[in-house]
Amino acid sequence: MSLLPALSAKNLSVMNARTNITNRRLLNPTAELGLLAAITLVVLGQLSGSNLAKAPSTSEGNHAAVKINPLKPPAQGSIPVAFLISEGAVMIDFTGPWEVFQDVMVPGRTDHPFHLYTVSESTSPIHTSGGMKIVPEYTFGNAPAPKVIVIPAQSEPSEATLEWIRKSTKSTDVTMSVCTGAFVLAKTGLLSGKAATTFHGAFVSFANEFPEIHLKRGARFVEEGNLATAGGLSSGIDLALRVVERYFGREIAQKTAYNMEYQGLGWMNPDSNQAYSATPVSTAEHPLCVVCGMDVDPANGPKSVFKGATYYFCSDADKKTFDAAPDKFVNTDRKGL
């Protein structure tokens, strides 16, 4: 399925396709959005009570030691974190970071470090990528002013949604997207001229739709001022841990990861997604959709012939997009940065 976030019926089917990438489970959404129990993780080390994860050394491949760039938490009270959701919101994209922020414990603080809440255009129930029904807690009109915004992959944003992001980001410490939530953030114009990343299966779509944004393949996350974009799915967990580190230091972030039994170390190295930096090659035996870059079943997928070559697509919508301007896709430089 295509990952173009032209977020209509097609986009909802995309979200369902991505649901198959990993098992997903959402606990009580109005109390605590729990971490999804079965996430495919790259185990880079073991954590123990007396041996918390250490950042990889240069010899271990950490060639992009990330600058701490600290954020100042309030002396008292909690940091408000708004999770922007709408129809089709991808569960791990927002429940992963939710779990990170809710698990943070800072010695000496009487208030919980983070105040988490959902916000949407209305409080009408929305359905997530796995079909879970969630009732947003706030609307744009009555939501507390956030210091952190989390934008998961979701449906096509309305102008009201984009304006709320623009207005709120003027006073946020971090406005972060996860996966194809980068498309939503990009549509605000805030990323123009900046670097960003997104889900590896959406690189082609993102580069075509937002040529003014410098796409970084192979990045676990990218930070630009108070904007940050994470790669796909579980990358949001790492970006959330990175935000925790910036507020409260590495030791607190390490302890949070340890308590979660999360052994991924990508939050310490923004360039740790190098496995996704190479552009997949489409072959006759295993064709890729020329619009979105995802796998296609040649026996069932739509196809078009252009300049004597056959191109396959994930959907009729992708075929229509290609047929309208085939040169745009055939000649696109998809290498990014």
CATH number at residue 316: 2.30.170
Q: What is the DSSP letter of 34?
A: P
**25 CB-near residues (< 8 Å, 6+ apart):** 34, 36, 37, 38
Residue 64 burial (CB count, 10 A): 14
| Residue 52 located in a structural domain | no
Q: Which region among 29-38, 104-113, 190-199 has the lowest average model confidence (pLDDT)? A: 29-38
- Residue 291: is its pLDDT beyond 70? yes
Question: Residue 84: what are its φ and ψ, rounded to 5°?
Answer: -80, 115
What residue type is 88 in one-letter code?
Answer: G
251 shares its domain with 132: yes
Q: Are residues 211 and 155 in the same domain?
A: yes
- CB count, 10 Å around CB of 30? 9
- Segment holding 306, helix H or strand E: strand 303-306
Model confidence pLDDT, tens digit, residues 182-226: 999 999 999 999 999 999 989 988 998 999 999 999 999 999 999
- Residue 44 located in a structural domain: no
Provide the pLDDT for residue 13. 41
- The number of distinct structural domains making up the chain is 2
- The structure tokens listed for 28 are 């009580």
Spell 99-125 as b/e; 16+ CB within 10 A means b.
Answer: bbbbbbebeebeeebbbbebbbbeeee
Residue 54 lies in a domain: no
Confidence of residue 232 (pLDDT cuts 50, 70, 90): very high
- State which of 233, 257, 276 marks the end of a domain: 276
Mark whether 185 and 310 lie in a shared domain.
no
SS3 311: strand
247, two tokens: 């507020």
pLDDT above 70: residue 259: yes
Note whether 270 and 295 are same-domain residues.
Answer: no
Provide the β-strand partners of residue 116: 81
Neighbouring residues of 139: CB distance < 8 A, sequence distance ≥ 6: 119, 120, 121, 122, 123
Residue-number span of the structural domain to which 122 is assigned: 9-35+70-276
Contacts 24+ apart (CB under 8 A), 59-62: 61/269, 62/268, 62/269
Q: In this structure, are 206 and 336 located in the same domain?
A: no
* Domain termination residue (choose one: 276, 291, 315): 276
**Which regions of 85-241 does DSSP assign to beta strands (E)?**
114-120, 126-127, 133-134, 138-139, 148-151, 174-178, 195-196, 214-215, 221-224, 227-230
In a domain, 140, yes or no: yes
In a domain, 112, yes or no: yes
Q: Same domain, yes or no, for 289 and 261? A: no
DSSP code of 57? P
Shared domain check, 194 and 307: no
Same domain, 126 and 224: yes
CB 304 within 8 A of CB 323: yes
- CB distance 83 to 146 below 8 Å: no
pLDDT higher for 136 or 51?
136
Domain ends where: 259, 276, 293?
Answer: 276
> Would you place residue 294 in the very low, low, confident or very high pLDDT band (cuts 50, 70, 90)?
confident
List CB contacts of 98: < 8 A, sequence separation 6 or more: 32, 33, 83, 116, 150
Q: Say yes or no to pLDDT of 96 above 90.
A: yes
Whether residues 327 and 309 fall in one domain:
yes
Same domain (yes/no): 172, 244: yes
CA angle 68, 257, 116 (to 5 degrees): 85
Would 189 be classed as within a structural domain?
yes
Q: Is residue 77 part of a domain?
A: yes
pTM (2 d.p.): 0.78
Report the distance separating Cα 209 and Cα 99, nearest Å. 32
Q: CATH number for the domain including 151?
A: 3.40.50.880
Residues 262 and 114 in one domain: yes
Instruction: Tell me how crowded residue 56 is: count the other CB atoms within 10 A of its CB.
Output: 17
- The answer on 226 and 177 residing in a single domain is yes
Tell whether 59 is covered by a domain. Answer: no
Query: Which residue, 135, 112, 123, is CA-closest to 28?
Result: 135
Q: What value, to the nearest 5°, has the Cα angle with vertex 166 and ends 163 and 171?
A: 135
Average confidence (pLDDT) over 100-123: 97
